Every structure is written in structure tokens, then in C-alpha cells.
Amino acid sequence: MKKEVDQAVLLTKKSSGILRLTLNRPAHRNALSGQLIDELIMQLVVAEQGRTVRVVVIASQGTVFCAGHDLNELVAMNQPQRRQLLERCSELMMTLQRIPQPVIAEVQGVATAAGCQLVASCDLAVAAASATFATPGVNIGLFCSTPAVALSRAVPTKQALKMLLTGEPVDAQWALQIGLISDLVDADELPQATRSLAERIASKSSACISTGKQAFYRQQGLPVAQAYADAAAEMVRNLDSASAKEGISAFLQKRTPHWPD
């Protein structure tokens, strides 16, 4: 697949354990090209395998967060290429939830189709009041079936179907009410609000955060009784961890914990 050689499609910056990945295709409304999907997966896997990243933030250049797939690219592909691209995009969304680090979407503008899917797939999402969200595929005869997977797991069924069946955009306030985003702030406060949230999470034990995130997603797909059994077993293991021993000791001694990780 031809690469965009004029500029990097993904910008990376790491500071104090926080990895910031910035979509950098503003002229293309930060659409998820095959190259951009591949580079996002690569950076997430590197973070997963390393020991220095504690939180990942996904942001965008320009006024649009992400307009979904690059339709020009999709139209030019044959069917096997389209299937491969969609499978890679699905892999990206699952990677966001698989890696041990929490992933925060910083949404400054429009997030549509696979862009809305990207927001729904992140663990947390901080959005500016000016942000909007939509799954508008129905408007062009292409139902947002893959975005529906993430959307239906992030918001109530009837709200997800309303977005999918009408294709109409919703504002950030409504997105907050239905649980598509976790935080809503003024546009000029967005970067700092995201950074503050990331720093608060990064200050915790990374071992605790990692096991907790993985246990959370694991229990979601289980029947209630099995979910409780899995969660209880996880807590038993957690109690024997160095982070739990230090955290409980610090709590009882009324001091700040010094995490071993």
C-alpha cells in the first residue's frame, strides 16, 4: 500500500510515562488509512511490550478528530483488500482494549463512523463541548456495521441503534449522558484536562492498573456468577502482589505508597 511520504501520518510524544499518539492527516479529516491503522497498531504493541508507558492518549491534529475510513482508499481497493483493511481496523480496536495501559481519546472535533468506533473502543474519552459524534454510513448506503460493534458495547442498545439507523450527529453533552465519553470540558481546557486525567492514572501502580483493566474486559463477556468467580480469583492473586502489599501497608501507616513498578 502506498505510503504518504510528505509527512508522518502519526505523531508520537512520550513524557512522564504518558504516550501521546496524534493522528496527523488533517487534510484528509484524519481518516483511518491503511498506513495510519498499521502505525497505530505498531505503537500500541511497542507500548504493550515495553515498561515505560503507563497511559496512552490518542489525539488529532486539526479540527476533526477522525472521519472514519478513507473512502477514496476503500473505493480503489478490490474485495480482498477491503476485507484485509477492515480486519486490520478491527485488530486496532481490539488492541486498544487488550494492552495493559489505559487508553484515553482526546476528542476536539468531529468523530464519525470508524472515528466514532475509535472513541468507543478507548477505555476513556475526554471531549470538548464542540465535539460531535455520528455513525452516518446509512446516509451513503453503507451501514456502519463494524463501528456498531464498539458502539453497542459502550452505550445502551436503543441509543446505539438511533445513531446507526438515522446517521444523525449527536453533541458532546448527549454523548456524555449515554456513556460514549467519560468527560466533557471546554475546548480550551481539553489538552490539560486529558493530561491531568492521564497523570492521575499514571500515578497509580501500573501492575494494579494492568491486571484491573484486563480483568474488567474479561468479566464483561461472562455470565454474572462466572464473572464474580473470575473477579474473586483475580483479587486473591492481586492481594499477594507487591503493589497491593505496599499500597495496603501505606494506607494503614497513613503514608504515600511507593509503588515497586
pLDDT tens sequence across 122-155? 999 999 999 999 999 999 999 999 999 999 999 9
Eight-class DSSP state of 132: E
**Burial class of 79 by CB neighbour count within 10 A (0 to 12, 13 to 18, 19+):** exposed
Asked whether the predicted pLDDT for residue 4 surpasses 80, the reply is: no
Give the separation between CA 11 and CA 104, rounded to whole angstroms. Answer: 16
Asked if 147 and 112 count as a contact pair (C-beta separation under 8 A), the reply is: no
Task: Check residue 221 and give its pLDDT.
Answer: 85
Instruction: Classify each residue of 173-211 as buried b or exposed e, where b means 16 or more C-beta atoms within 10 Å of its C-beta.
Output: eebbebebbbbbbeeeebbebbbebbeebbebbbbbbbb
Task: Check residue 7 and give its pLDDT.
Answer: 81
Asked whether the predicted pLDDT for residue 227 surpasses 70, the reply is: yes
Interacting residues of 207 by C-beta distance below 8 A, sequence separation 6+? 241, 242, 243, 259, 260, 261
pLDDT tens sequence across 160-197? 999 999 999 999 999 999 999 999 999 999 999 999 99
Asked whether the predicted pLDDT for residue 78 surpasses 70, the reply is: yes
Task: Check residue 51 and give its pLDDT.
Answer: 83
pLDDT tens sequence across 79-102? 999 999 999 999 999 999 999 999
Task: Place 210 in a pLDDT band, splitting at 50, 70 and 90.
Answer: very high
Task: Place 1 in a pLDDT band, splitting at 50, 70 and 90.
Answer: very low
The full set of domains in the chain, from first to last, is: 10-202 (3.90.226.10), 206-252 (1.10.12.10)
Q: Which residues, listed in sequence order, are joined to residue 170 by a DSSP beta bridge? A: 133
Task: Check residue 261 and give its pLDDT.
Answer: 81
Task: Check residue 236 and give its pLDDT.
Answer: 96
Q: Is the dihedral of CA 122, 197, 217, 156 positive or negative?
A: negative
Q: Which three cell numbers stand for residue 53?
A: 508507558
Task: Check residue 33 and give its pLDDT.
Answer: 97
Asked if 147 and 32 count as a contact pair (C-beta separation under 8 A), the reply is: no
